[in-house]
Amino acid sequence: MIYSRWAFLICFAFLFLCKPISSYPTPEELSEIPQNFLNFAKKAETFDWMVRIRREIHQNPELAYQEFETSNLIKQELENMGISCKHPVAGTGLLGFVGSGQPPFVAIRADMDALAMQEMVESEYKSKNDGKMHACGHDGHVTMLLGAARILQEHHHLLKLYIRAVIRLMERAETTEEGGGGAKKMIESGSIDNVQAIFGLHNDPLVPLGQVACRPGPIAAGSGRFQAEISGKGGHAAIPQQAIDPILAASNVIVSLQQLVSRESDPLDSQVVTVAKFQGGGAFNVIPDSVAIGGTFRAFSVKSLLYLKQRIEEVIVGQAAVQRCNATVTFNNEDMPMYPPTVNDKELHKHFQRVAVDMLGFSKVTDYNPVMGGEDFSFYQERIPGYFFILGTKDEAAQERPALLHSPYYNFNEDALPVGAALHASLAVRYLIESQTGNPTGNEHRHDEL
């Protein structure tokens, strides 16, 4: 994965809730849950606790599938709250359990891996690990999920619910967290068995603090990667007729690949093919024996994604042959699988709007334009209804343009912690109760205006 805003989500955390044991809250009481949870998350004791956890994680960043200390910290915090854990799960994963653990379940998810970058922000909690930093806000994501677990643990007696919380953090990676398909490993471990719905979020420093952005349907593209080796015959640059030039062949390949989108795809069906790797030759006067290229392809439908994959191989092999070269093409593997599109369930979109408006107000729930980056949350959505949304973390006090995700100057806005934690908890509780009563509550009359 891949691209600024979406090249990040791979660690996972889940929160599962089971059936209530007594009478349900009234519709009015249900509508008050999000604001009550937010008020609890904003209390000095809760907020300071989340800040401490977030900064400790930030100081000790770990890359994909190496988050051993991070998962140990999460385990300790859950146990401190009286939440039992299963650890590890699927590598560096962790499952925490609150309540009876009987289905049906609702899930919430977060990610915890860091990036292979040197942090440039000077602070008292700056990364202690050279060449590693939380440049995508996953330290905040983990903290908000722990905050949600604390909210639910503190309030389940008031809601007359048994609650089962499951937190699982893993990785995917295109460099670190991008591309490893942690969600797929999570599914294979059985962690979403009996789960009815799953929710996830990512922070965005361009969306104002206190706002959330969302949409039904596709929100992130499916993505794949390819690599090719184009082999010719090396020789002296002064006598090219005695060689077979793989650099020329690779250049023609790249130009032809760009035409897959411009000439073969429907202009209304957004697609991307990018060659981002070109390696070949080491001297100005030597034609090399071979050249390696690589890149990514993306689309909002599986059909389009598979078509691009087929044509990429045909173009590379065919154009290489025109230049008398041979080519071998490889795509994603088991460790770094191709990602399906991230498509939000339409009914869960309505649910999210109800909960978010009850918590934040109508004006704070905005539309979001889909992006071509990939997100492995999509693997869950292939199996169960899922919903992925954006949490605003923009620092309005900053005088200059905020540092973006994957920047060495990025720093998660801690003022967003209460909102994310309370939204996680509210989405889970409200979904579970409303799905069992068959009576959605809240601001239905405002849905179509969002």
Q: Is 202 annotated as a binding residue?
A: yes
Q: What's the confidence (pLDDT) of residue 367?
A: 97
Give per-residue pLDDT as tens, 261-296: 999 999 999 999 999 999 999 999 999 999 999 999
Q: What per-residue confidence (pLDDT) applies to 189?
A: 79
Q: What angle do CA 95, 99, 100 make, to 5 degrees?
A: 100
Residue/partner pairs of 236-239 with CB below 8 Å, 24 or more apart: 236/285, 236/286, 236/287, 237/284, 237/285, 237/286, 237/287, 238/285
Lowest mean pLDDT among 3-12, 76-85, 363-372, 431-440: 3-12
Q: Is 178 annotated as a binding residue?
A: yes
Is 156 annotated as contributing to ligand binding? no
Could you tell me what percent of the chain has a pLDDT over 90? 65
Enumerate the CATH 3.40.630.10 domain ranges in the chain, comma separated. 16-220+341-449
Is 179:152 a contact under the CB 8 Å cutoff? no
Q: How confident is the model at residue 8 (pLDDT cuts 50, 70, 90)?
A: very low
Q: Is the pLDDT of residue 177 over 50?
A: no
Per the annotation, does 406 bind a ligand?
A: yes
Average pLDDT, the chain: 86
* pLDDT tens digit sequence for 179-205: 456 777 778 877 788 888 999 999 999
Would you say 205 and 402 are in contact if contact means Cβ atoms under 8 Å apart?
yes
Span of 212-226, 328-342, 411-425 with lowest mean pLDDT: 328-342
Query: Which CATH entry fits the domain spanning 222-331: 1.10.760.10, 3.10.450.50, 3.30.70.360, 3.30.70.20?
Result: 3.30.70.360
Is the pTM for the entire model greater than 0.95? no
Angstrom distance (rounded) from CA 283 to CA 215: 51
Across the range 303-314, mean pLDDT stands at 97
Q: For residue 399, what are the contacts with CB-CB under 8 A and spacing of at least 6?
A: none
- Two structure tokens written together for 108: 């919430």
Q: What is the CATH number of domain 16-220+341-449?
A: 3.40.630.10
Q: Where are the alpha helices (DSSP H) in 23-135?
A: 27-42, 44-59, 68-80
Please give the C-alpha separations between residue 74 and each of 67, 100, 243, in angstroms, as whole numbers.
11, 21, 59
Q: How confident is the model at residue 334 (pLDDT cuts 50, 70, 90)?
A: confident
Q: Please give the single-letter amino acid code of residue 273.
A: V
According to CATH, where is 3.30.70.360 located in the chain? 222-331
Task: Tell me whether residue 424 is annotated as binding.
Answer: no
